[in-house]
Amino acid sequence: MQTDSKPKISGLGQRLANRALRWWLLALALCWSALAAQAAPVPVLTVHDAIGPASADYIIRGLERAQQQGAPLVVIELDTPGGLDTSMRQIIRAILASTVPVATYVSPSGSRAASAGTYILYASHIAAMAPATTLGAATPVAIGLPGLPQTPKPAPAEGVPSKPASAPADQTPAAPASPMTAKQVNDAAAFIRGLADQRGRNAVWAERAVREAVSLTAAEALQQNVIDLVATDIADLLTQIDGRKVRLAGGELQLGTKGLRTEALPPDWRHRLLSVIANPSFALILLMIGVYGLMFEFSSPGFGVPGTVGAICLLLALFALQLLPVNYAALALILLGFALLAAELVTPAFGVLGIGGVVAFVAGGLLLFDRDVPGLGVPLPLIFGLALTAAAAVILGGGMALRARRAPVVSGAEQLIGARGEVTQVTDGQTWARIHGEHWQVRATAPLQPGQRVRVVGMTDLILQVQPEGERHDV
């Protein structure tokens, strides 16, 4: 009896071919994943400053670039004392809408994510800290409304211990004394509580960080489920989060970050320019240069350079002020101070307008920005230095004007009175004399002769009134 082995061989070959095809597809997928990982490294954005317009622009542009390149993850290396509420919310909106996971990493050791940094940490898909770092103290300070009075938290009575960071959450904090402060605190507490609920983190402590300004170390934050992990460096961070699942705007994603290559994205020229221009101290200096440049150009037109430089500096200052939370009453005081100082130079006010201008400038500089917001206070030495510089310019200009007023007249009709000269010609009833090297028509009460010395006693139109002086001599 013969058996047909051809179908068996054909079936075995088909199975081997299918298996080879599957291995080939798997190898192709692994190669594609390796190439994709190599082509799109993990960008690292570094923010080691107060959160402001420049920081927001830098992070938002970095997230957009990562999405365009298909990066598997974005790491924000953070060290900040806090900053502006508006800039913080722009960053958080970009993180929440990002299609690329964002890991905020408080680093290096000794850094902090205070105030606005705590909100950003809570909003991130992955919250990590390096050893010996801190976060917290997220009580809002004049959120978006500079210049509002702040009610400080009352100090504990003597002998009564303050409430520790690990105290029970059922202890109700004292209500803010000001209704405006209560609005700010309640809004900030609701905001960070929503972020905590969305990321599955400790919402109770988050609210205490807002209402009581408490802080935590990295180890305490990990223990209380405030952050996800503590990592020694970025490589350790990528290793620890490998395989974690995060929830993005488009759905859930499992991270595959172990061994990924990182790429530092330092701030570009735009961010560096914004950092300089949006600095409150530099904005105030630009404003002063701009106003004084225009004042000098208007007082001495035709030179061109002061007006050009002043106009450029003034426009840059206005651009910076529209980025920053400005107290417009304080800005009006500064402009009033400039106006009074300018008026002092052109009016005989004997220092009254100049002193008023200096006082208005100092008051405006103190109130222009909220000094309680990290990174926004203008240093007092700078304010007083600018005020003293303006006062010195007024005193110097006024002193020069006073000396010029008291100096003897060296030109013009007034200078001719009392001048001496010599009669040069008498013809057809007209007498001419040389005075100060010039030929003038002169008149006298007595007849004059050529060569006679005369002295000017008056002037009518272009004719000088003279008197004879001394005896006649030949020429």
User: What is the C-alpha to C-alpha distance for residues 123 and 90, in angstroms, rounded to an integer?
Assistant: 12
**C-alpha triplet 266, 270, 287: angle, nearest 5°:** 130
C-alpha distances out from residue 390 to 52, 279, 338, 396, Å: 30, 21, 9, 10
pLDDT category, 172, cuts 50, 70, 90?
very low
Q: Residue 299: left if φ>0, alpha if ψ -120 to 50, beta else—which one?
A: alpha
Average pLDDT over residues 57-81: 92
- pLDDT digit string, tens, across residues 411-455: 566 667 778 888 888 887 788 888 877 888 888 888 888 888 888
Average pLDDT over residues 195-219: 93
Other CB atoms closer than 10 Å to residue 121's CB: what's the count?
Answer: 30
- The residue type at 295: M
Residue 147: predicted pLDDT: 38
- Residue 174: pLDDT over 90: no
Backbone angles phi, psi at 114, to 5 degrees: -90, 155
Residue 143: predicted pLDDT: 38
List the structure tokens of 180.
């405006």
- Residue 229: pLDDT over 90: yes
pLDDT category, 205, cuts 50, 70, 90?
very high
